[in-house]
Structure formats: structure tokens, C-alpha cells
């Protein structure tokens, strides 16, 4: 499954050189994952109320180019389950098709007691 989420770079997203500060790419990717999750019919808050909590287990990122103030970016996300308890989100930040950042973010699913639980069946795409 592929999901695309648009992002515009604002002044608050940039460093002293006017480039996107590195940690903000993680925020953009988090927003895109939240929007992708909502396509399964429930918001992250709804999943939480039902006892499914999605936590970051691992992150790997590579920075290829810099994005800057005013850029229009697109976060491209691919989701797959690596086990019943873990989901892998392969994400790219692109500017007009040009690769800016690529990442692989692995999430685990926990229950109310903070124990591993299987991802809801809706995530098995």
C-alpha cells in the first residue's frame, strides 16, 4: 500500500541556514503515518481507545538532499507487517519527485498494559 501526504516547509521548520532541521523530517513522517492509519477507518485516538498503541521501535534514516523554506514536499509511505506485532513503514520525503530523505521506521503494537499485542487485522494489507 502506498500513501502520499503533502507538507509545506514553514520558517519554524528551518535552521539558521533556512534548511529543514533534521528532526522535523521525523515529524513530517509521523503526520503521514497518522494519516495513513486513519485510512483504515479510525484515527490514532480511536485505536488507542480500543487498546492498540503504536510505538516506535526502530528508526533508520538517510539524508540525500536538503529541503528549504517554502518547499512543497510529499511524504510517500509504504506499510508492511514484519510480524504480527511489528509494522515497517518505508517512507520517503520528496520534492517534485526528487528524493530528499528516506527512512525505515518500525513500530510495535502494545495493549493497555504495555504488553505486545498483534496489530489490528486492518493493518494486514
* Nearest CA among 91, 86, 98 for reference residue 36: 91
* Active site amino acids: 15
d(CA 49, CA 44): 9
Pairing verdict, β 53-63 and 86-95? unpaired
d(CA 116, CA 125): 20
Phi, psi of 27 (to 5 degrees): -65, -45
d(CA 64, CA 101): 6
Amino acid at each position: 500500500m502506498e500513501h502520499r501526504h503533502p507538507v509545506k516547509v514553514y520558517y519554524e521548520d528551518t535552521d539558521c541556514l533556512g534548511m529543514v532541521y533534521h528532526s522535523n523530517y521525523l515529524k513530517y513522517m509521523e503526520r503521514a503515518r497518522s494519516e495513513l492509519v486513519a485510512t483504515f477507518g479510525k484515527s490514532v485516538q480511536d485505536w488507542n481507545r480500543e487498546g492498540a498503541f503504536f510505538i516506535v521501535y526502530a528508526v533508520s534514516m538517510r539524508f540525500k538532499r536538503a529541503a528549504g523554506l517554502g518547499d512543497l514536499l510529499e511524504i510517500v509511505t509504504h506499510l508492511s507487517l514484519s510480524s504480527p506485532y511489528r509494522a515497517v513503514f518505508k517512507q520517503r520525503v520528496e520534492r517534485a519527485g526528487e528524493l530528499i530523505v528516506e527512512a525505515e521506521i518500525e513500530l510495535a503494537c502494545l495493549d493497555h498494559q504495555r504488553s505486545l499485542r498483534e496489530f489490528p487485522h486492518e493493518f494486514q494489507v
